[in-house]
Amino acid sequence: MKWYQKAIAASAGATGAGLLAWKTMFPWLEYDIQLAKMGKKIMSLREEALKTFLIDKFEEKVANTPKKAFIIFEDNIFTYEYMDQMACRVANVAKSLGLKRGDCVAMMIENEPSFVWTFLGLQKLGVAVAFINFNLKMQPLVHSVLAAGPKYLIVGSGEQLVHSVLEVLDDFGKLPVYIQGHGASPPPRGLNSFDALMNQALPTPIYPSVRDGLTLDDTCCYIYTSGTTGTLKAIDITQYKACSAVCSILPTGFCESDTLYTSLPLYHAAGSMIGICGVFGTGATMVLRRKFSARNFIEDCRKYNVTVVQYIGELWRYLLAQPPSPLDSQHKIRAAFGNGLRKDIWLDVVKRFKIPNIVEFFGATEGTTILVNISGRPGAIGRLSPFLNAIDPEPKALVKFDYETAMPLRDKNGHCMKVEVGEPGLFLSTVPQAMMKDGNLKVYRSSDEANEKKLVRNAFAPGDLYFNYGDVFVLDKDYFLYFQDRIGDTFRWKGENVSTTELANVITGLSFVEDANVYGVTMPGSDGRAGMAAITFNAGVTVSEKEMKELYEHVVEELPSYAQPLFIRHMSRAILTGTFKQRKVELVKEGYDLNLVKDPLYFLDHKKKTYSPLREQDLGRFLSSKL
């Protein structure tokens, strides 16, 4: 009997007075039963989803509902049939370029229908696709593209994207670069026109045998993260994981009659795997927006009869900051699905926008499980009760940990130590057998060392294998989980994971900087952590307006806006541990508190185009401007 069957049997066996007695003894059990029942349904649908590949699911919906709206974008309707015709053109172009199953193409395209049909067209041949963050510039862009080992790079419409690529074109070596959206205009020197090839290609279907040999272990796409260590890494999203992701949004009751609204970037798993694939996996419709707009969010939902919205926590803070309107609750939204909606604003969101069902989840693109809160408990990301863990074939745990190493602490027997209710713990989840290859888990298209850092071996018993998320949760008395912090060498700001190592490398690229210790700091009224860097200058260099302006110009040119450090702390010498590692715990605790920090502090001053000295009278204004 499977775990969810055991749970249902347990609930079914307790009726009437017996059930009341169970609830009295274990008041949290009803939440477990609710989750177990939903789990039974999702697991059944997931097993079905794993019988066909992602592209097969799309082609099936094209055959069944060709005239149905798949994407609504900027008031245009793109039907399943039209999207398939464009995808077929892409596939035929790819064939003409010699691409075949097992190859990889990097793709840097903004939120627009061409992202979807380019991805699907390459999937028709079994070609893996690397989703490149279109905000990246300079060396981070070069690193991300080359990390996937692509045969080609396809760049979407937009002068900024082309400019970013031209800046580093020589660093791509002999990698051919094609650009979309420029019509009959000749491409800039060194680039090739993808539009010309699309105009010549026919929309004739690709026979499925072209991708014969494709397996669930093969790569569907690469999505990037810094994990909790090092620079950006390409996560290997297998066909198994992609097909499983189709079911992620189902806890909302999502079905073919729904219309999903997303303004989340498609280069992230939430927008692409959960959003796009969840939509065509069920035959639903998506309203796609190029970028989030607080002013237009609810208006769009009303205009297009949206029934389900995707979110990240920051999105709600922006919406709440808008002037209230009687129209805020005039919509057909029945559910919201996302992560990062914190307890402090949860009830404000419910009260103002009148959304009946908010389903908060926790997951990591490279992770091995997903947590979900279907009970509406404000701020919770899921559950971890003794009952659920006892019947779960892939147990999870919160364990004691070292803040500096982001690794579990061990007892005298070498085992991880679970935390008590109310005690912060590092989240670990069992690595499922279905995700292993040769008894191991390969998360990144990277070194064995980078992959090994995410694994915890022999955690509770010899031979067991757990995945380390690098996230700290707290458990309440009803066994609901709450996100507390992210540890390790990353922080999250404006919905993006930022690598402290990568930022430090950029900053130390300046000739006068000796060392840079980058970390994330909390800001009132904001989710995640903003970037801060404690820097030391080379001997003989003094701090002047010249250096701070040069530092400003350097980070603005090299880094996307969400990765630019908001605060700088100038230190006379670096803080090191006894093993000569940079010590961040003390720096994070002190942050930009002018009462605690005696070193000179500076803030990112876009008005003056420099890092300006941080004074008490500047702090409040600056913090309010960052919401």
Domain boundaries along the sequence of the chain:
80-238, 384-486, 490-625
* Distance, CA of 118 to CA of 557 (rounded, Å): 29
**pLDDT exceeds 80 at position 231:** no
What's the rounded mean pLDDT across residues 19-26?
64
- Percent pLDDT > 90 in the chain is 61
CATH architecture of 384-486: Roll (2.30)
pLDDT tens column, 255-308: 999 999 999 999 999 999 999 999 999 999 999 999 999 999 999 999 999 999
Residue type, 370: I
* Distance, CA of 454 to CA of 435 (rounded, Å): 14
3-state secondary structure of 332: coil
* Distance, CA of 407 to CA of 455 (rounded, Å): 10
**pLDDT exceeds 80 at position 248:** yes
* Distance, CA of 571 to CA of 594 (rounded, Å): 14
Lowest-pLDDT choice from 58-67, 212-221, 387-396: 387-396
Q: Tokens 């069902």 identify what position? A: 357
Phi, psi dihedral angles at 270 (to 5 degrees): -60, -45
Residues 6+ apart with CB under 8 A from 590: 596, 597
Confidence of residue 342 (pLDDT cuts 50, 70, 90): confident
Candidates 338, 291, 350, 293; CA nearest to 313 is: 338
The gap between the terminal CA atoms of the chain, to the nearest Å, is: 50
* Distance, CA of 313 to CA of 362 (rounded, Å): 12
Position 3 scores a pLDDT of: 41
What's the rounded mean pLDDT across residues 607-612?
93
**pLDDT exceeds 90 at position 340:** no
The model carries a pTM of: 0.85
Reported CATH class of domain 80-238: alpha beta
Superfamily of domain 490-625: ANL, C-terminal domain (3.30.300.30)
- Cβ neighbours around 83 below 10 Å, total: 22
* Distance, CA of 238 to CA of 538 (rounded, Å): 46
Residue type, 391: I
H/E stretch holding 475 = strand 465-475
Please check whether residue 239 is in contact with residue 216, taking contact to mean a CB–CB distance below 8 angstroms.
yes
Q: Which residues pair with 416 in a beta bridge?
A: 410
DSSP-assigned letter for residue 559: S
3-state secondary structure of 104: strand
* Distance, CA of 493 to CA of 438 (rounded, Å): 36
Position 625 scores a pLDDT of: 64
